[in-house]
Amino acid sequence: MSFEIPTRPPEHLDIPPELERLSELAYNMWWTWDREARALFASIDPALWGRYLNPVRVLSLTRSANLKELAMDPSFRARVHAVLSRFDADMGRPDVPGGKVAYVSAEYALHECLPIYSGGLGVLSGDHLKEASDMALPLLGIGLLYRRGYFRQLVDADGYQQHTYPELDGLRLPILRVKAPDGTTLRVPVELPGRTVNLRVWVTFVGRVPLLLLDSYSNQNAEEDRYITSQLYVGKRDTRLVQEVVLGRGAVAVMKALNIEPATWHMNEGHSAFLAVEALRLSGANDLPAAIEAVRPRHVFTTHTPVPAGNEVFEDDLVRPYLEDTASEMAQPVDALMQLGRSPASPDNGFNLTALALRLSHKANGVAALHGEVSRKMWPDFDIGSVTNGIHVSTWLGREMAKVLDAHEIDDPRMLAERAGKLSDERLWAAHVAQKHRLMRFVRTRMVRQSARHGNSPEALRRMADLLEPNALTLGFARRFAPYKRADLLFTDPERLTKLLTDPTRPVQLFMAGKAHPADRAGQEIIRNVWALADSDELRGRIVFLEDYDMGVGRLLVRGVDVWLNTPEWPREASGTSGMKAAANGVLHASVPDGWWAEAEREGTGFTLGEPGPPNTERDAKALFEMLENEIVPLFYERDEGGLPRSWIEHMRACVVAHMGRFSTRRMLEDYARDFYDLGSGNASPSS
Q: What pLDDT score was predicted for residue 673? A: 97
Residue 576 C-beta-side C-alpha neighbours within 13 Å: 32
Q: Could you say which of 386, 415, 439 is where a domain stops? A: 386
**243 close to 277: Cβ distance less than 8 angstroms:** no
Whether residues 519 and 597 fall in one domain = yes
**270 close to 234: Cβ distance less than 8 angstroms:** no
The 3-state DSSP composition of the chain as helix, strand, coil percent (nearest 5) reads 45, 15, 40
Q: What pLDDT score was predicted for residue 687? A: 39
**Residues of the chain falling short of pLDDT 50:** 681-688
Residue 686 is assigned to a structural domain of this protein: no
Provide the CATH number for the domain around residue 486. Answer: 3.40.50.2000
Whether residues 531 and 627 fall in one domain = yes
Largest CA distance in the chain: 81
Residue 214 is assigned to a structural domain of this protein: yes
Beta bridge partner(s), residue 392:
none
Q: What pLDDT score was predicted for residue 684? A: 37
Report the run of H or E that residue 105 belongs to, with start and end.
strand 101-105
b/e burial code for range 595-608 (CB count within 10 A of at least 16 → b): bbbbebeeeebbbb
| φ, ψ at 621 (rounded to 5°) | -65, -45
Residue 113 is assigned to a structural domain of this protein: yes
Residue 678 is assigned to a structural domain of this protein: no
Q: Could you say which of 91, 114, 140 is where a domain stops? A: 91
Whether residues 510 and 586 fall in one domain = yes
Residue 293 C-beta-side C-alpha neighbours within 13 Å: 6
Residue 649 is assigned to a structural domain of this protein: yes
Domain count, the chain: 3
Q: How many residues does the chain have?
A: 688
Q: What pLDDT score was predicted for residue 451? A: 93
What is the 3-class SS of 481-512, one letter each residue?
Answer: CCHHHCCCHHHHCHHHHHHHHCCCCCCEEEEE
Residue 178 is assigned to a structural domain of this protein: no
Whether residues 105 and 84 fall in one domain = no
Q: Could you say which of 351, 368, 386 is where a domain stops? A: 386
Q: What pLDDT score was predicted for residue 190? A: 98
Q: What pLDDT score was predicted for residue 465? A: 77
Q: What pLDDT score was predicted for residue 309? A: 64
Whether residues 287 and 355 fall in one domain = yes
**593 close to 612: Cβ distance less than 8 angstroms:** yes
Residue 174 is assigned to a structural domain of this protein: no
Whether residues 347 and 427 fall in one domain = no
Closest CA to 678 of 321, 417, 300: 300
Domain extent at residue 587: 396-663
Whether residues 412 and 374 fall in one domain = no
Q: What pLDDT score was predicted for residue 346? A: 86
Residue 35 is assigned to a structural domain of this protein: yes
Amino acid at 362: H
- Statement: the pTM of the whole predicted model exceeds 0.95: yes
Beta bridge partner(s), residue 205:
28, 210
Whether residues 601 and 641 fall in one domain = yes
pLDDT of 80-129, one tens digit each? 999 999 999 999 999 999 999 999 999 999 999 999 999 999 999 999 99
Amino acid at 34: D
Whether residues 510 and 375 fall in one domain = no
Whether residues 467 and 491 fall in one domain = yes
Q: What pLDDT score was predicted for residue 11? A: 87
Q: What pLDDT score was predicted for residue 686? A: 39
What is the 3-class SS of 557-609, one letter each residue?
Answer: HHHHCCEEEECCCCCCCCCCHHHHHHHHCCCEEEECCCCCHHHHCCCCCEEEC
What is the 3-class SS of 231-294, one letter each residue?
Answer: CCCCCCHHHHHHHHHHHHHHHHHHHHHCCCCCCEEEEECHHHCHHHHHHHHHCCCCCHHHHHHH
Whether residues 493 and 452 fall in one domain = yes
In angstroms, the Cα distances linking 358 to 90, 122, 347 are 36, 21, 15
| φ, ψ at 75 (rounded to 5°) | -70, -40
Q: What pLDDT score was predicted for residue 53? A: 98
Whether residues 35 and 70 fall in one domain = yes
Instruction: For 396-438, give the DSSP string.
Output: HS-HHHHHHTTTTT---HHHHHHHHTT--HHHHHHHHHHHHHH
- Helix (H, G, I), strand (E, B), or coil: what is residue 650? helix
Q: What pLDDT score was predicted for residue 208? A: 97
